[in-house]
Amino acid sequence: MKFFVDTADIKEIQELNDLGLLDGVTTNPSLIMKSGGKIADVTRQICEIVKGPVSAEVTATEYPEMMAQAKVLAKIANNIAIKVPLTWDGLKACRALRSDGHMVNVTLCFSANQALLAAKAGATFISPFIGRIDDMGIDGVELISEIRTIYDNYDYKTEILAASVRTVNHVKQVAMLGSDVATVPPATLKALVHHPLTDKGLAQFLADWAKTGQTIA
């Protein structure tokens, strides 16, 4: 499973990229707002760091304006994936942008039928928001399983990009279900390394090592 990081925080992106962990980045208008920078500047900086797809989202809701914004965003770098919402106009923009050779991430997906439409529109990525479904008291991870089945049934090439990932358990679950990508906030990505038995075992080894009085180098 590929890891994308879900942030517009340049320092976090740089650190995770230096570790060789990043296959891409997703941003959205809320994350750009949090970064405090201008969308073009922030997105350009991200694309200078990360080689994989960097999603940049349109903020228009009508097809002609979406296309105009998409053209501006696409010019920022060759690895931009244009993010469009899962609406009729978004699907129309998806089809047109794919025909023009751009990567497209169809976002705000909350049902398997929406994901089916995105695949038929030729989306490069579909972003089901599992955490926001959990927030409604419904199991969001189940949606990944439904989409996996449908895409495999018909051999759709659209990649499932699990989004709104909130916990380390989400990461494990979507990986087990065959999500192609998970976009994960930096803190959750870093939390994947932790296990209490690792900490306990390391403390024990270090304590015993100290008792030997030896040094290695």
Which residues, 96 to 155, sit near ligand E4P by CB under 6 A?
107, 127, 129, 131-132
Q: State the nearest-atom distance from the C-beta of 151 to ligand E4P, in Å.
A: 18
Q: State the nearest-atom distance from the C-beta of 199 to ligand E4P, in Å.
A: 28
200 tagged catalytic:
no
Q: In terms of Cα–Cα distance, which of 13, 34, 38, 33 is closest to 24?
A: 13
Nearer to ligand E4P, 26 or 69 (CB): 26
Per CB under 6 A, 164 contacts ligand E4P:
yes
Instruction: Provide DSSP, 123-178.
Output: -SEEEEBHHHHHTTTS-THHHHHHHHHHHHHHT--PEEEEBS--SHHHHHHHHHTT
Exactly one of 123, 160, 163, 189 binds ligand E4P (CB under 6 A); that residue is 163
Nearer to ligand E4P, 124 or 127 (CB): 127
Q: State the nearest-atom distance from the C-beta of 181 to ligand E4P, in Å.
A: 10
Per CB under 6 A, 2 contacts ligand E4P:
no
Give the active site residue among 11, 71, 83, 190. Answer: 83
Number of residues that bind ligand E4P (CB under 6 A): 11
Binding mask 178-207 for ligand E4P (x = CB under 6 A): -----x------------------------
Nearer to ligand E4P, 182 or 206 (CB): 182
Q: Which chain residues interact with ligand E4P by CB under 6 A?
A: 6, 26, 28, 107, 127, 129, 131-132, 163-164, 183
Q: Which residues are known to be catalytic?
A: 83
